[in-house]
Amino acid sequence: MPLLIKNAHVYSPDDLGIKDILIVNDKVATIGENLQVCLPELETLDAKGTILTPGFIDQHIHVTGGGGEGGPKTRTPEIMLSELIECGTTSLVGVSGTDSVTRSIENLLAKVRALTAEGVTAWMYTSNYSFPPTTLTGSVKGDLFMVPEVLGVKIALGDHRSSFPTVEQVLHLLTDIRVGGMIAGKIGVLHIHTGNVRGAFEMYEEIIKRGFPIRHIRPTHCARDKYVFEKALEFARAGGRIDITTGGSCCFESPADAVEAAWEAGIEPSLITMSSDGHGSVPRFNDKGEMIGLGVGGVACNLRDLKKLIERGHSPEKVLPLLTKNVARGLELTGKGEIYGGCSADLCLFDQDWNLKHVLSKGQMMMKDRELLVKGTFEI
């Protein structure tokens, strides 16, 4: 049914002031003041006193579960739809991790498609920590062209669990990603789990010096280690995009501190994003490299750190792009991460204290007055 949202304070994420928004099917039809609409079966939501934003995009979630470093019993569980909706995540990119044996790429694709069918929008990166990459079709180019959900390739670099490919091997992989993206009409990115073993950013520097476009190189976990963070800032100064993980370990007191440090260092704000690493395992190791504990990463940490930055006095239009516009533009997700006529109707509505009240995904009301209206297929 068409829905008219009245009197909301809209951040697109730019501050548009008090506006009405008309939603028809899965799209925002128009935005304006005092809209007068006559449509069959029109519903109206008086949103006076609320803040309306784009739905959040989480570009790093282990949707099929991660972990496994401590044996089969340590494999983390798959994510459920309600976990995403409760924190305003309406779009996501699924990833695989350390376990390339029991967590197949085919299973990742199936889960991504299931989440999309349940009501959000999901994509994926093919492969995992391994090199050569694990693919669906037998090649990176094939995955990018033949699988609509595939946006790029996941790999681990600078981590004790990575395969430690050479500069030439990474450059060859990047070339396949770039060409595959061209053929498929996608940007094509190398999404990189960054560990604290030095050498990854030095590798990127060499690749960029040779003339390869920096826009295809996408390191994440950029604030888990002080050295990595400083190298990430250098990478961003050269025009690269950096992603700060809100879940798991951080070399700052909180990931919000890392974002502030990047801003204070003069990094172009549009080059910074946040992601949760949700449902990945959170292993703890001793000095000998032995695992001494394990936890499960959540997905609500994105909303937690967004609220923390706003509470510290940063304007919503500066903070919101970390989870909306910056992610969408970086991955060329048309119609996502912003609010304008014709965009996907992925919307979050908050009270004045930034507590989430309503969530719409593709025009469907998923949560209303903090009550979940839609749950995953197997959720009770």
Distance from C-alpha of 178 to C-alpha of 172, rounded to nearest angstrom? 10
Distance from C-alpha of 341 to C-alpha of 165, rounded to nearest angstrom? 45
pLDDT at 289: 74
With cut-offs at 50, 70 and 90, classify the pLDDT of residue 98: confident
pLDDT at 325: 98
Average pLDDT of 73-99? 95
pLDDT at 99: 87
Average pLDDT of 222-233? 97
Average pLDDT of 15-27? 98
pLDDT at 71: 85
With cut-offs at 50, 70 and 90, classify the pLDDT of residue 379: very high
Residue for token pair 């033949």? 146
pLDDT, one tens digit per residue, over 181-205 is 999 999 999 999 999 999 999 999 9
Binding residue ranges for substrate: 67-69, 98, 129, 161, 224, 281
Average pLDDT of 225-236? 97
- The pTM for the full model equals 0.96
Q: Is the pLDDT of residue 68 over 90?
A: no
With cut-offs at 50, 70 and 90, classify the pLDDT of residue 161: confident
Binding residue ranges for Zn(2+): 60, 62, 154, 193, 221, 277
pLDDT at 278: 96
- Rounded to 5 degrees, what are φ and ψ at 220? -125, 180
- Please give the structure tokens belonging to residue 333: 């997700």
Helix (H, G, I), strand (E, B) or coil at 88: coil
The three-state DSSP-derived secondary structure of 216-241 is HEEEECCCCCHHHHHHHHHHHHCCCC
pLDDT at 297: 85
- How many CB atoms lie under 10 A from the CB of residue 120? 24
Q: Is the pLDDT of residue 27 over 80?
A: yes
Is 220 within 8 Å of 194 (Cβ atoms)? yes
pLDDT at 100: 84
Average per-residue pLDDT for the chain: 96
pLDDT at 308: 98
What does the angle CA 135 – CA 136 – CA 137 come to, to the nearest 5 degrees?
Answer: 100
pLDDT at 241: 98
Give the strand pairing for 217-220 and 242-245. unpaired
Query: Which residues make beta-bridge pairs with 30?
Result: 22
DSSP state of 178: H
Average pLDDT of 307-316? 98
| Least confident interval from 40-44, 285-289, 349-353 | 285-289
pLDDT at 210: 96
Which stretches of the chain are assigned E, i.e. beta strand?
3-11, 15-24, 27-32, 43-46, 51-54, 56-61, 89-94, 121-126, 150-157, 189-194, 217-220, 242-245, 272-275, 281-285, 291-296, 347-350, 356-361, 364-368, 371-372
Q: What amino acid positions are annotated as catalytic residues?
A: 277
Distance from C-alpha of 247 to C-alpha of 195, rounded to nearest angstrom? 15
Average pLDDT of 218-225? 97
Distance from C-alpha of 305 to C-alpha of 324, rounded to nearest angstrom? 14
pLDDT, one tens digit per residue, over 270-306 is 999 999 999 987 777 788 877 677 778 899 999 999 9
Domains of the chain: 3-54+336-372 (2.30.40.10), 56-331 (3.20.20.140)
pLDDT at 165: 96
pLDDT at 281: 77
Cα–Cα separations (whole angstroms), residue 106 to 111, 240, 275: 9, 30, 23
Binding residue ranges: 60, 62, 67-69, 98, 129, 154, 161, 193, 221, 224, 277, 281
Distance from C-alpha of 177 to C-alpha of 281, rounded to nearest angstrom? 27
Average pLDDT of 72-95? 95
User: Exposed, middle or buried, 205 (CB in 10 Å: 0-12/13-18/19+)?
Assistant: middle
Within the chain, residue ranges assigned H as helices are: 81-85, 105-118, 140-146, 167-184, 200-209, 226-237, 255-264, 301-311, 316-319, 325-331
Q: With pLDDT > 70 as the criterion, what percentage of the chain qualifies?
A: 99
